Amino acid sequence: MLDIIKKIKDVLTNHFEGIQEKDILISSPPDVKMGDIAIPLFALSKKLNVPLQNLAERGIPLVKIEPYVDKVEKAGGYLNLFLNRSIVGGQIIQQVFSKGRLFGSSMSGKGKKALIEHTSINPNASPHVGRARNAMIGDSLSRLFRFEGYDTEVHYYVNDMGRQIGLLVLISDEIENLDFNGILQAYVHANQRAENDPEFAQKGYDLLAQMEQGNEEVRKKFFKVTDMCLKGQLGVLRRLGVDYDYFDRESSFIESEELNKVLDILKTKGALFVDEEQRLTVDLAPLGYTQEEGRYFVLRRANGSSMYGYRDLAYTIYKGHRGADEDIIVLGEDHKLYLQQISLILSSAGYTPPSPVFYSYILLKEGKMSTRQGNVVLLSDFLDSASALALERVQEQCKELSEEEQKLIAEQVAVSAIRFAVLRVTPTKNVIFDIESALSFEGDTGPYLQYSCARIKSILRKYGEKVPTNILTSFPIRQNEEWLLLRKISEFPLTILNSIEQHNPSIIAGFALDLAHIFTSFYHSCPVLQAENEEIRMARLQICLATLRTMQNALHLLGISVPERM
RNA sequence: GCGCCUGUAGCUCAGUUGGAUAGAGCACUUGCCUCCGGAGCAAGGGGCCGUGGGUUCAAAUCCCGCCGGGCGCGCCA
């Protein structure tokens, strides 16, 4: 399909003087009945100074490219091309079969490196679905970059220090056997106490200062608490299939020679000063910052201890040195101004700041999630109830499977439900999360996608043998549904490129939904195993196989697995 | 108040980067399991694409104003 579009552009640019590839737009007609590829001529007609009708007449024989294009019609200001379904369809299937697990990848990242940092949840509680949006987007992007051939490394920035962690460490001394389940309560308690008890708050700062100065005993205490919490959080995230290559401790960036060099540069620009309260501060105005809000960026407190910004700048520089062609960080929209600030600092010292992927918050139907008011949805709670619900259905429908296998499938269904519900929405938009519909597994959901795959697998299982992968030279296509399915499959590589370019996994999610809808429609109107003759039966089996392959590749990028049955 | 994001069917979301009659799911109405899995399919009702202007052959899409929602403006991270 892609090469046909390329051919059309070649033919037209060669024939008409003074137009380039980008002048030729390609879209598709609103209905298959009107053709497969549409070329709007309005802009071309203007550019070439040729009347529309005239241009259409001249264009028709040009774009009727043998043997791929059967027919060209002019309709309004468009040229509509009808493809030869047999030839093009056969080629699409051939391509899926030959590329297999890599179908969809253009390997645009071959020889390049990608670094993605995501998640970085404060070690103070079990993650809720809002926090997990970061992890799901980040993980999906990581999968996309790997798929496109990038040498990809995934980083998790461990927030193992700071004032609030100091308070948590302080209070953990008073609680016996503090574990992951009790940590949120301890954290909330510690912060409340710091608000009402200045002495306690001061002790927190002191502890933090000791930690920074390298007091081994204090350091160990920090590590003990944060490690315990991180371990708990990672356990929940791993249920989602989210994994990391590197864990970078914030506490190893409290002093950085490299950053101090950057600060020297800032000094020469008149952007670094010690304020009236003895804090080391950057004035962003000399660097080109135009607003008053957020103009000052504090690096160190009066007692010399580092602020988050200092450590993060050092960390960002460290990541930059790893030589990635794509340096990406996934952040909540609340970090926008903050990232703007550190980006300005870095770029004015000659560094390239990372490209941010911002996402908006997940809201509940009732409003914002609030830990205090108790209306948060914990990721583990959601997975537990989704898994339990799914298990009931699996027990009904897959009686012959062992209990172990049934549980495994139920868990896969639960994961797909949450991942799809979150990933299908464009990151910049709020997700309104409705637990009830997320647990229903009906309609446009992850389980629906898995279900359509399970149906294909069921057909292939019943067929019993391996479906041959050699394609008939005149591949038989009788029904619109067959053709629509193949056309959709052929869009997959372009969809991936779009998705990676825009750093937006929801584009893949939309594609997977379209594909599943078209498949189920095909499934209901085109009998496969009972097809009218052997040739068509084989062709439909091959269409099923190609659809499954494409769907599996797409779902893999979303972190959704495809069970054999469900 | 200032800055960034956002507004599409009753609800939750798409909309191929400016193209033809704006599409899905949920909910509602109707039909479909003797037939490859009903977590499904087919059909129907439901839309001043927040609002007012502008740009042009063409605007849900681009520009400006207004209105509603989200986020930010820390000795937090």
pLDDT in tens, A469-525: 999 989 999 999 999 999 999 999 999 999 999 999 999 999 999 999 999 999 999
Nearest DNA or RNA nucleotide to A527 (CA to C1'): B36
Which CATH number covers residue A51? 3.30.1360.70
Q: Does A270 share its domain with A339?
A: no
Residues 6+ apart with CB under 8 A from A287: A266, A269, A271, A344, A345, A348
Residue at a domain's end among A240, A270, A305? A305
Q: Does A297 share its domain with A332?
A: no
Which CATH number covers residue A410? 1.10.730.10
Question: What is the reported pLDDT for A374?
Answer: 72
Count: domains in chain A: 4
Residues 6+ apart with CB under 8 A from A330: A116, A117, A118, A119, A134, A137, A138, A141, A356, A357, A359
Nearest DNA or RNA nucleotide to A362 (CA to C1'): B70
Q: Is residue A91 in a domain?
A: no
Q: Does A351 share its domain with A419?
A: no
Nearest DNA or RNA nucleotide to A525 (CA to C1'): B41
3-class state of residue A38 by DSSP: strand
Nearest DNA or RNA nucleotide to A530 (CA to C1'): B36
Question: What is the reported pLDDT for A372?
Answer: 66
- Print the domain residue range for A343: 113-252+308-359
Q: Does A226 share its domain with A183?
A: yes
Q: Is residue A98 in a domain?
A: no
Query: Distance, angstroms, CA A380 to C1' B11?
Result: 26
- In chain A, the percentage of residues whose pLDDT exceeds 90 is 86
Query: Distance, angstroms, CA A126 to C1' B67?
Result: 39
Nearest DNA or RNA nucleotide to A302 (CA to C1'): B75
The model's confidence at residue A134, banded by pLDDT at 50, 70 and 90, is very high
Q: Does A316 share its domain with A242?
A: yes
Q: Is residue A185 in a domain?
A: yes
Query: Distance, angstroms, CA A51 to C1' B55?
Result: 23
- Say if the ipTM goes beyond 0.85: yes
What 8-state DSSP symbol labels residue A407?
A: H
Q: Is residue A566 in a domain?
A: no
A471 touches strand B (CB under 7 A): no
> Beta strand A151-158 with A246-249: parallel, antiparallel or unpaired?
parallel
Residue at a domain's end among A64, A83, A102? A83
Nucleotides of B under 7 A from a protein CB: 1-7, 11-17, 19-21, 23-27, 35-37, 39-42, 57-58, 69-77
Residue at a domain's end among A83, A103, A121? A83
Nearest DNA or RNA nucleotide to A428 (CA to C1'): B5
Under 8 Å between Cβ of A70 and A83: yes
A29 touches strand B (CB under 7 A): yes
Q: Does A274 share its domain with A135?
A: no
A162: left (phi over 0), alpha (psi -120 to 50) or beta: left
Q: Is residue A367 in a domain?
A: no
Q: Does A118 share its domain with A131?
A: yes
Q: Does A478 share its domain with A449?
A: yes
Whether the per-residue pLDDT at A373 is higher than 90: the answer is no
Distance CA A244, CA A324 (A): 16
Distance CA A140, CA A275 (A): 43
Q: Does A238 share its domain with A342?
A: yes
Beta bridge partners of A273: A281
Q: Is residue A9 in a domain?
A: yes
Q: Which of residues 41-70 of A touch strand B (CB under 7 A)?
A: 42-43, 46
pLDDT in tens, A323-371: 999 999 999 999 999 999 999 999 999 999 999 999 999 999 888 887 6
Q: Is residue A369 in a domain?
A: no
A464 touches strand B (CB under 7 A): no
pLDDT in tens, A159-186: 999 888 999 999 998 888 889 998 988 9
Q: Does A406 share its domain with A552?
A: yes
Which CATH number covers residue A177? 3.40.50.620
Question: What is the reported pLDDT for A17?
Answer: 84
Average pLDDT of the residues of chain A: 94
Q: Does A170 share its domain with A314?
A: yes
Question: What is the reported pLDDT for A502?
Answer: 96
Q: Does A337 share its domain with A462?
A: no
Q: Is residue A385 in a domain?
A: yes
